[in-house]
Amino acid sequence: MGETTTKIAADRIWDHWQRGEVMDDLPSELKPQSRQEGYAIQASLRCPPEQQLAGWKIAATSPAGQSHIGVDGPLAGRIFQMCVIEPGATVPVETNRMRVCEPEFAFRFAKDISPKDTPFSVDEVMALVGDLHLTLELPDSRFADFASVGGPTLIAESACARELVVGPAITTDWRSIDLSQHAVTGHVAGRIEREGTGANVLGDPRIALTWLVNELSMVGTPPLAGQLVTTGTSMVPLEIVEGDHVMADFGVLGQIQVHIGV
């Protein structure tokens, strides 16, 4: 795809995002044919300067998540500042069509990632991490049938990014905890209680984080110091409707909650 075509595709996605509208698919001449073309469109999303890049998300880090959006592997997306929500806030979902909430582990980088010729190891990536945060993601897509448009197109629209509730940095000694075995309980008051673990995130949230670093390094946009990476849902996503109160309990790491509005 040329630069002009890439920008036209990005503008079409961004316009639908801002209007809370969906489209069936991108026209064939604007549709990315590879992950690299998808990331090029994503990088061209015309977010205003004041809405700087707050971080990144990983979609489809479990077989169930991959099946849900019709892909065969994880996808990386951008989290803009406008997407970041304080814990306990009320998030409207009137135009959200996915209507799910996902409890996730997130890491904030203390140092820039400098690309290198060989893949990063988990230990190399974790040495660059400063903090762990708890998050609740409320994803959504700019496509009416998001499970049929394909991975490159979902990458182009930022991997179903929408609101992300971000808790404060964890003060517990989280590095001594095996996050792959760490239990998480999701509650939708009066309706749902669901269990999960860090193993649902590519086997370990730290492995998912390393996947994202290597994926973004490949396309020349590795995470920078201060940016957050939320690593994917630790359980089958929690179904939500207007009026719900959602709380995720991460045990010794704490809790995070959000109210669902209209």
Q: Is the Cβ–Cβ distance between 166 and 106 less than 8 Å?
A: yes
Question: Token match 């995070």: residue?
Answer: 256
What domains does the chain contain, in order, with CATH numbers? 3-85+97-172+201-235 (3.90.850.10)
How many CA atoms, within 13 angstroms, populate the side-chain half-sphere of residue 181?
Answer: 3
Give the angle subtended at the CA of 67 by the CAs of 166 and 32, to the nearest 5°.
85
The answer, as to whether pTM is greater than 0.85, is: yes
Q: Is the Cβ–Cβ distance between 185 and 248 less than 8 Å?
A: yes
How many CA atoms, within 13 angstroms, populate the side-chain half-sphere of residue 32?
Answer: 27
Distance set, CA 140 to CA 79, 100, 103, 123 (Å): 12, 9, 15, 32
Q: Which helix (H) or strand (E) holds 143?
A: none
Q: Is the Cβ–Cβ distance between 189 and 238 less than 8 Å?
A: no
Q: Is the Cβ–Cβ distance between 142 and 16 less than 8 Å?
A: yes
Q: Which helix (H) or strand (E) holds 256?
A: strand 255-261
From first to last of its 262 residues, the chain has per-residue pLDDT tens of 899 999 999 999 999 999 999 999 999 999 999 999 999 999 999 877 767 899 999 999 988 788 889 998 999 999 999 999 999 999 999 999 999 999 999 999 999 999 888 999 999 999 999 999 999 999 999 999 999 999 999 999 999 999 999 999 999 999 999 999 999 999 999 899 999 999 999 999 999 999 999 999 999 999 999 999 999 999 999 999 999 999 999 999 999 999 999 8
Structure tokens at 256: 């995070």
